[in-house]
Amino acid sequence: MPGLTDSHSPALSPRSADYPDLRKHNNCMAECLTPGIYSRLRDKMTPNGYTLDQCIQTGVDNPGHPFIKTVGMVAGDEESYEVFAEIFDPVIKARHNGYDPRTMRHHTDLDASKSGTALRHGVKAGGESCVSPHTRGQTSRAVENVVVTALSGLRGDLSGKYYSLTSMTEREQQQLIDDHFLFDKPVSPLLTCAGMARDWPDARGIWHNNEKTFLIWINEEDHTRVISMEKGGNMKRVFERFCRGLKEVERLIKERGWEFMWNERLGYVLTCPSNLGTGLRAGVHVKLPRLSKDPRFSKILENLRLQKRGTGGVDTAAVADIYDISNLDRLGRSEVELVQIVIDGVNYLVDCEKKLERGQDIKVPPPCLSLAGDEVAGEGRS
């Protein structure tokens, strides 16, 4: 399987290869890359040795996706976003509703009191600038050591324990996966072609509190993913715990000389450009048997700036008409704004479902403005 180890990484195009044939591709990278951009960036390299071919490999190998429009490229390190800005900037603008990383600034707001069910936040530990696809064994283990040591300082309802994948039994792993607590071994070509399965399962694991309502994934797609979740509809409580926990984790990591990668233009810096900014995905599992079969469903989601996926992840279809509904945007809007968009949007979807159940008509809401000030047009992206 490509990407499982260094010796099984996807074969990169030879240095002399021509511009890749992207005519049948349907991802943001393929739409933005031109022969001119490719020729200007092809021979550049980040200080960590990451190249343009490595950034776009996943988008070249995977022309499209059955459920979503993908970004089609990843960043191997923080510097990738600057060295290859000529392609990353238009991809970011296409994916993030018109957000221009050269002229706009991202605002972070973790004040849970402003907002009224799972929240996931991917972050990178600073100290070393390599991010996951280009991370090798020693760096991954250093990240694991720093983060796990920091998490031992959590107290109260956030206190818990770390479980390394290398020490878990297969049964323990599968149970956590089935309960939607733990990530599975990457098998999607989108991830394996980007090197996400390299050195699996070395230096990977999950930390969770005693109630399993506050979890942290270590060295999955990103160095860390902070998750707050619980059953029921109390998103305000989930968000409050998320904000409080994230601030505490960041404080404990800073005490050890590390920090999350963040800047004013891109917000939190993550592996996939789709997660830049807040890195936040506020997801709610909701059953929509009638609305999901209505031909207006996709347009309603698009205009509400929401996206749907199966409850098993981006590569899964919905089962029994239960969808994972989450915010489409990450960058250019604060955490508080995005959570409110999900709350309002899910309420609208549930209201539509009830109307259809009663035989009443539903309306497609007007499209929201893009961050550039224009009406949003086209399909939603992820």
Please measure the distance between the N-terminal and C-terminal CA atoms of the chain and give it in whole angstroms: 25
Is 52 in contact with 41 (CB distance < 8 Å)?
A: yes
Q: Is 333 flagged in the annotation as binding?
A: no
Q: Is 180 flagged in the annotation as binding?
A: yes
Q: Is 8 flagged in the annotation as binding?
A: no
Q: Is 225 flagged in the annotation as binding?
A: yes
Alpha-helix residue ranges (DSSP H) falling in 84-188 = 85-95, 137-151, 170-178
Q: Which amino acid is present at 348?
A: Y
Q: Is 285 flagged in the annotation as binding?
A: yes
Among 43, 40, 24, 32, CA closest to 92 = 32
Among 239, 259, 234, 264, CA closest to 249 = 259
Q: Is 126 helix (H, G, I), strand (E, B) or coil?
A: coil
235 exposure class (CB count in 10 Å sphere: 0-12, 13-18, 19+): buried
Q: Is 310 flagged in the annotation as binding?
A: yes
Q: Which amino acid is present at 201?
A: P
Q: Is 333 helix (H, G, I), strand (E, B) or coil?
A: coil
153 exposure class (CB count in 10 Å sphere: 0-12, 13-18, 19+): middle
Q: What is the DSSP string of 6-31?
A: GGGSPPPPPTTPPPP--TT--BHHHH
Residue bearing tokens 């031109």: 34
Q: Is 311 flagged in the annotation as binding?
A: yes
Among 188, 214, 227, 182, CA closest to 201 = 182
Q: Is 117 flagged in the annotation as binding?
A: no
Q: Is 59 flagged in the annotation as binding?
A: no
Q: Is 116 flagged in the annotation as binding?
A: no
Determine how many CB atoms are found less than 10 A away from the CB of residue 111.
11
Q: What is the DSSP string of 47-97?
A: TT--BHHHHHHHHHH----SSS-B-----SBTTHHHHTHHHHHHHHHHHTT
Token pair listed for 213: 């309502």
Q: Is 283 flagged in the annotation as binding?
A: yes
| Known binding positions for ATP | 180, 225, 281-285, 309-314
| Known binding positions | 180, 225, 281-285, 309-314
